[in-house]
Structure 1
Amino acid sequence: MNKKFILIFLFVFTLTNFSGNKIWAKNVVYQGPIYNLFFHPLINYPELAFNQTNKYLDYMDQWFVTVKEFKKIIPELYKRGFVLVSPKDLFEERKDEQGRLIITRKELILPKGKMPLVLSLDDYNFYNKMKLHGTIHRFWVNRQGTLVTITKRNKSTSLNQDDQEVPQILEKFITEHPDFSFNNARGIISLTGYNGIFGYNTHETLHHNYSSQVIEAKKIVRKLKGMGWQFASHSYFHLAEDEQTEQNFENSEKRWLKEVGVIVGPTSYYIFPFGDPWNKNVTRMNFLKSQGYKYFFGVTQTNKTTMEPGIVMMGRFPMDGRSLREKYFGVRTFVNPVDVLDSTRRTEGKP
């Protein structure tokens, strides 16, 4: 009897501690809301972003979080029971008898107490105004196959680092906490096209260096996809709905497919510029659907998901300086702003 007891104890102990994973007591069908959270590129150099002489001070302070803040946010999300999931694990598609697309919610089984979180990253193009005022300059895959960031601080010095952006930081966290990711989910990276992608000039199609820029960008895409990341269109020019005629809009979306889509591959995800959903614009939505988009993301203070014929509309909460500073409704679902806010930010209005 004693031997039996010891064997059972050792078996359970081994399971519980294997690779540091927890064995959850009970898996259940998740019935609650789908949570969505998005970030812009991280501020790596607060001394540039929050410098009082920086004409983009408000821009950097409102719409970005620092590396230090992000490194506090991720463990807090984990502590609160969030689990990264992909939309492909939340919805299933089928055709009805008339050939129409039907999208329905999948049965999602999670450990009891866990909540699904769809993570997205916007504008990972690294626009010039970002690079000059506090973000990294570009991604790069080095000879060891590691995703690193490159930042040039002066003409002779560039910094090559592996812990300064979301994909890198998140990867290390998931290695230590594998139960933070469901079915190898990471997140969705949304890209525009007018200023290249990942810091590479993929928009300068007539430039003599164009081919090498595309080659480097494709290496990054392959690396990120291998890590579990997916990609979305964020439109080509990042313009509001009323800033383009329908024809100009359609031409710019085709340009996105030609310049960005050929690098990142097909996607069914579309993230609206400025987070303003265009679902009331029937002409525009029909065009986007004709280009293969099925899952649309806006920006809201609530995590609202609505399903319309052939499409899914998802609201995302913005995790940025403004949300943290002004303690927007909904931010406390994810973090306590006072515990997260970086002390290097400008002081006015600080909680």
Structure 2
Amino acid sequence: MAGKDYREDNSVNSTRSQYRSRNRNRKNNNFNGLIILAIILIGAIFVGSRFLIRHMKKNNTVAATNKGDGSINTDSLDTSVAVEEAESTSSALEVALNTAKKQAMQYDYDAAIATLNELNMPDNAEVTSAISEYEGIKANLVPANMDDITHVFFHTMVVDVDRALRDTHQGRQWNSVMTTIPEFKEILQQMYDRGYVMVHLHDIAQMQDQGDGTMKMVKNQIMLPEGKIPFVMSQDDVNYYIYMENHGFPDKMVLDENGKLKNQYTDAQGNVTVGDYDLVPILDAFVEEHPDFAYHGHKAIIALTGYNGVLGYRTDETFDPNSPAFDPNNKPNHNIEEDRSTVRTLTSALKQDGYEFASHSWGHINFKGRSLGIIQNDTDKWIRNVGHLLPDPCEILIYPFGADIGDWHPYQAGHQEGKFDYLESVGFRYFCNVDSKRAWLQYGDNFFRQGRRNLDGYRLYEGYSGKADRLSDIIDVTKVFDTSRPTPINWE
């Protein structure tokens, strides 16, 4: 029994010894694992702290240490702070120099000098040199003749001559009153080469407070370098009417993916593209290449009617199925509020881009041949349907057909059958008719008038065929006229 018991005790002890050995190994392994984990955590904290310190330094945050007296030790600044400050200063300098350069190229020397002075770098050689240069140019500017400023105008550009200018009654009309894209581009280049510079009507004259509460139209003085000539440009009927659809004209105005003003166009095969298909994007591209063509960045006047909506969108109340003014002859626009919002975005972009706006009446009416009552009704519709889509109240009226309410005599209260009194009461101060003279301007106490010159098919062909010379002061028609047009061109 004793041997048996002994053998049994030995077996148990052996088993217990093996268990204790395995248990010790597990504890040792666990302990070693904890040590490794601790080393990893310490390393991570170290690396993280180093990254945090570098990140704080990169953001110009000084690592502060306590001196023992409660004060902060900032004696040791990382050199990256100074480097970043230098880079920031250099970037601001470059931006300011480029901004001032463009302002100066567009004859706004005061703005250019102010831009550079805002840098507060009186000891910077580049800044002082540029300021000195702009002050020198400004000192040598000459006054423009404010009674000899020409005004040229266009309609919607012809994209496809074959589709737009066919031998039909409508095609012949368009052939006489429209300009093709190649013609317009050549006109821009020739006027630029001859020293012409676009200005706004508000650059020519402005209503000013006389100090006693009364307002008066005051002639401004445009100052330009020797050889530069101010002129005004406008475009009528920037509406993209329904009857022009699928006839070789743009469809509407849009903003492209870069936020630039462009046109949508549908070709003969039904392909839709976005590009430079009308005056605005073509002029923008030209001014981008030649900033000195636009005085203070000012471009053309965009004249709008209302009866078909504006800029190619059917925004008029006569297209609104929920309006009592809805015209059953019109296709209802169920997205009219969205389209109105789009137009507001476009007109804001146009203003920002340097354009002014004008009323061309709601229904393209003849102001000379219509009664005061009809003019009032039409103007009310324009203000209600077009005016509220513009970023500012409209002060410019461009007469449809060029039909002025009066002759060459200045407007007077109580004259012109009360038409001027009414138009003034709703805010119009600038009035443009059509005149074949080189320039016609009239400054009144409460208005400014200017004649305009049509650079269209009829007028271009008139010069090209030798019938009359009305445009040689601004262009060489032999180089402008698009010979792909059907000829002869008569006034339709």
Code of the residue aligned with 2:288 in structure 1: it is T
Residue of structure 2 in register with 1:213 after alignment:
339
Distance 1:347 1:329, change over 3 A: closer
* Aligned partners of 1:35 and 1:115 also within 8 Å: no
Distance 1:99 1:112, change over 3 A: same
Taking the aligned partners of 1:244 and 1:349, their CA distance within structure 2 comes to 30
Taking the aligned partners of 1:331 and 1:296, their CA distance within structure 2 comes to 23
Aligned with residue 453 of structure 2, among 307, 317, 320: 317
Structure 1 runs not aligned, ≥5 long = 1-13
* Aligned partners of 2:265 and 2:277 also within 8 Å: no
Task: Report the secondary structure of 1:170's partner residue.
Answer: helix
Residue of structure 1 in register with 2:154 after alignment:
39
Structure having the higher strand fraction is 1
Taking the aligned partners of 2:175 and 2:154, their CA distance within structure 1 comes to 13
* Aligned partners of 2:172 and 2:489 also within 8 Å: no
Aligned with residue 107 of structure 1, among 214, 221, 233: 221
Question: Aligned ranges for residues 118-133 of structure 1 at < 5 Å?
Answer: 118-133=232-247
Aligned with residue 165 of structure 1, among 267, 275, 278: 278
Residue of structure 2 in register with 1:61 after alignment:
175
Taking the aligned partners of 1:148 and 1:309, their CA distance within structure 2 comes to 39
- Is 1:261 the equivalent of 2:387? yes
Residue of structure 1 in register with 2:13 after alignment:
none
Structure 2 runs not aligned, ≥5 long = 1-96, 107-132, 322-332, 408-415
Taking the aligned partners of 2:271 and 2:151, their CA distance within structure 1 comes to 38
Cα displacement string for residues 164-185 of structure 1 (whole angstroms, at most 9, x for unaligned residues):
2111111111111111111111
Cα displacement string for residues 284-311 of structure 1 (whole angstroms, at most 9, x for unaligned residues):
1111100100010011012100112300
Question: Aligned ranges for residues 185-204 of structure 1 at < 5 Å?
Answer: 185-203=298-316, 204=319
Code of the residue aligned with 1:62 in structure 2: it is S
Cα displacement string for residues 225-250 of structure 1 (whole angstroms, at most 9, x for unaligned residues):
11111101011111113553322220
* Aligned partners of 1:232 and 1:270 also within 8 Å: yes
- Is 1:341 the equivalent of 2:481? yes
Code of the residue aligned with 2:432 in structure 1: it is F
Q: CA deviation at 1:267?
A: 1.3
Aligned-residue CA RMSD in angstroms? Answer: 2.4
Taking the aligned partners of 2:489 and 2:422, their CA distance within structure 1 comes to 43
Taking the aligned partners of 1:285 and 1:346, their CA distance within structure 2 comes to 41
* Aligned partners of 1:119 and 1:186 also within 8 Å: yes
Task: Report the secondary structure of 2:158's partner residue.
Answer: coil
Distance 1:154 1:343, change over 3 A: closer
- Is 1:278 the equivalent of 2:405? yes
- Is 1:300 the equivalent of 2:413? no
- Is 1:228 the equivalent of 2:228? no
* Aligned partners of 1:28 and 1:112 also within 8 Å: yes
Q: CA deviation at 1:98?
A: 6.7
Which structure is higher in RCO with an 8 Å CA cutoff and minimum separation 6? 1
Q: CA deviation at 1:211?
A: 0.5
Taking the aligned partners of 1:92 and 1:208, their CA distance within structure 2 comes to 41
Aligned with residue 49 of structure 1, among 155, 164, 174: 164
Task: Report the secondary structure of 1:325's partner residue.
Answer: helix
Residue of structure 2 in register with 1:250 after alignment:
376
Cα displacement string for residues 305-351 of structure 1 (whole angstroms, at most 9, x for unaligned residues):
0112300110011110011001254311211111101111013369x
Q: CA deviation at 1:151?
A: 2.0
TM-score, normalised by the number of residues in structure 2: 0.64
TM-score, normalised by the number of residues in structure 1: 0.88
Q: CA deviation at 1:93?
A: 2.2
* Aligned partners of 1:300 and 1:316 also within 8 Å: yes
* Aligned partners of 1:100 and 1:310 also within 8 Å: no
* Aligned partners of 1:83 and 1:181 also within 8 Å: yes
Task: Report the secondary structure of 1:313's partner residue.
Answer: strand
* Aligned partners of 1:84 and 1:118 also within 8 Å: yes
Residue of structure 1 in register with 2:366 after alignment:
240
* Aligned partners of 1:301 and 1:329 also within 8 Å: no
Distance 1:292 1:340, change over 3 A: same
* Aligned partners of 1:184 and 1:228 also within 8 Å: yes
Code of the residue aligned with 2:224 in structure 1: it is L
Residue of structure 1 in register with 2:36 after alignment:
none
**Farther off after superposition, 185-194 or 330-339:** 330-339
Aligned with residue 179 of structure 1, among 277, 284, 292: 292
Question: Aligned ranges for residues 69-80 of structure 1 at < 5 Å?
Answer: 69-80=183-194
Q: CA deviation at 1:90?
A: 1.6
Distance 1:149 1:322, change over 3 A: same
Taking the aligned partners of 2:263 and 2:151, their CA distance within structure 1 comes to 26
Q: CA deviation at 1:144?
A: 2.5
Q: CA deviation at 1:117?
A: 0.7
* Aligned partners of 2:142 and 2:225 also within 8 Å: yes
Distance 1:229 1:349, change over 3 A: closer
* Aligned partners of 1:62 and 1:321 also within 8 Å: yes
Q: Quick one: percent identity of the two aligned structures?
A: 27
Q: CA deviation at 1:274?
A: 0.6
Distance 1:174 1:58, change over 3 A: same
Taking the aligned partners of 1:333 and 1:309, their CA distance within structure 2 comes to 31
Task: Report the secondary structure of 1:143's partner residue.
Answer: coil
Taking the aligned partners of 2:265 and 2:372, their CA distance within structure 1 comes to 38
Distance 1:69 1:253, change over 3 A: same
Q: CA deviation at 1:59?
A: 1.1
| Greater radius of gyration (CA) | 2
Taking the aligned partners of 2:260 and 2:151, their CA distance within structure 1 comes to 28
Code of the residue aligned with 1:106 in structure 2: it is N
Q: CA deviation at 1:88?
A: 1.7
Question: Aligned ranges for residues 1-12 of structure 1 at < 5 Å?
Answer: none
* Aligned partners of 2:176 and 2:489 also within 8 Å: no
Task: Report the secondary structure of 2:169's partner residue.
Answer: coil
Code of the residue aligned with 2:443 in structure 1: it is M
Aligned with residue 91 of structure 1, among 189, 193, 205: 205
